[in-house]
Amino acid sequence: MLDVAVSYNRYKFLGYEFLTWLWFVMENRQEILKESDKELVSLDIGNCIVLENNKNDSIESITIKGDKAGLEEGILSLQKGAVVTELNLIYKAGNNEWRFNIKGENLNISSLKTPETGHVETKEDIEGVLLEKVFLYEKIFVLMNNLYKHFISLRVTNRWEKDVVLQIKKWIAS
Amino acid sequence: MGILSSSVSVTRYKVKSNPEKPFLEKVYNGLTQNAIQEIDDHPLEKTVGWTSFENPYIPDFEGSSFVIGPYLVFSMRLDRKSIPPKVIQKHYAIEMARQLEKSGRKYLSRNEKKSIKDHVIDVLSLRIPATPNIYDLIWNMEESWLWFFSNLKAANEELETLFSKSFRLSLIRLFPYTTADLMSGLSDADRDLLLQLSPTKFTE
């Protein structure tokens, strides 16, 4: 395996492409989301999209904030050649809702808020609440792993350039 | 930020293999031998070590208390003394003046100044308590993954070093390349293709 520092920097574009693809999937290919999580009701963009445009050796960063983060401005940035570097997402399963940020550079999850769990009142409650929390965190990690796996399986084939990229280009231009 | 907080940040790792058998005994030894040491009465500015999830200020790993269900749950504690620069400056100036008066000279050499500054920091470090920072983690030995509840670069680097020192195991941080290489079920041929990828242009 490659050196960690080298592979982190050389392939962080994969994380940006993953988030750009994920936005496309959320808008156009809902069936991929359902395949990745049978209990999924919805996966939507929350209150923040961060994009980055790397042109002429200078990096331009565009942050769009607010509820239902301005999709039009985001698409406009994509049209100018930007990629998504960070997303705030809202995932719903059953009557429950999770909110979190995912960063393309490292796939780190931050500001993860799960549905309510039981309260810790005594020392004995800790174990139960902890296991419940782990279960709820895992839902997000499994969903993201499955989606990333799907993305990578496309990314290493010819279908990526011949099929997926063309569809994404069409979506961006529409 | 802890496992039970209302909002968490998580860095995910793959653990390269498992400790030698008996697992729990090896983990217990690693935890106790590298447990956090108090530095409030020492001139040390920083220390890092393991502590208990349930009681991070009094580390106790007895009775497999770090095992919860199928997981190992404990915390890394990073204690740091931060002396405000202006406090150092004040005591340094006082000590310099005292030394000059004592020696009857007008100037002190560079080495003498450095020695005074080090002495001032040592003395202040003894008087200032360390601020503890606690970072929880969950380790699933069966599936060889670990979640560390912080995205802070410095905390993650401390974790990687302490984990390797304590358990003689490597942690592989999961980011785009390592997740694709290790977690996506790619064939050897696909992994070779992965190495050759370059960025896509989504515009004409």
Apex CA B38: angle with CA B34 and CA B42, to 5°? 120
Would an 8 Å CB–CB cutoff place B71 in contact with chain A? yes
User: How many beta-carbon contacts under 8 Å exist across A and B?
Assistant: 134
- pLDDT at position B179 is 96
pLDDT value at B1 more than 60: no
Q: Where are the domains of chain B?
A: 11-81+131-195, 85-127
**Segments forming the whole domain that contains residue A64:** 4-173
Give chain B positions within 8 Å (CB) of A80: 203
Give chain B positions within 8 Å (CB) of A153: 184, 186, 190
User: How many angstroms separate the CA atoms of A123 and B23, rounded?
Assistant: 26
pLDDT value at A24 more than 80: yes
Average pLDDT, chain A: 92
Contact state of B197 with A156 under an 8 Å Cβ cutoff:
yes
CB nearest to A149's CB, from B175, B178, B185? B185
CA B132 to chain CA mean position, Å: 11
pLDDT in tens, A107-116: 999 999 999 9
- pTM for the structure as a whole: 0.90
A39-73: burial string, b at 16+ Cβ within 10 Å, e else:
ebeebebbebbbbbeeeeeeeeebebeeeebeeee
- pLDDT at position A69 is 59
Work out the percent of chain B whose per-residue pLDDT is above 90: 74
Apex CA B135: angle with CA B74 and CA B181, to 5°? 85
Q: How many domains in chain A?
A: 1
* Nearest Cα to Cα of residue A94 among A15, A30, A40: A40
Q: How confident is the model at residue A1 (pLDDT cuts 50, 70, 90)?
A: low
In the chain, the amino acid numbered B125 is: S
User: How many angstroms separate the CA atoms of A105 and A83, rounded?
Assistant: 11
Flag the least confident range among A140-144, B14-18, B143-147.
B14-18
Contact state of B195 with A161 under an 8 Å Cβ cutoff:
no
Give chain A positions within 8 Å (CB) of B138: 134
pLDDT in tens, B80-124: 998 899 999 999 999 999 989 988 888 889 999 999 999 998 888
Flag the least confident range among A59-63, A64-68, A126-130, B59-63.
A64-68
Work out the percent of chain A whose per-residue pLDDT is above 90: 80
Q: How far is A110 from chain B (nearest CA, A)?
A: 4
In B43-62, the residues whose Cβ lies within 8 Å of chain A are 54
Within 10 A of A127 (CB to CB), how many other CB atoms are there?
14
Give chain B positions within 8 Å (CB) of A20: 202
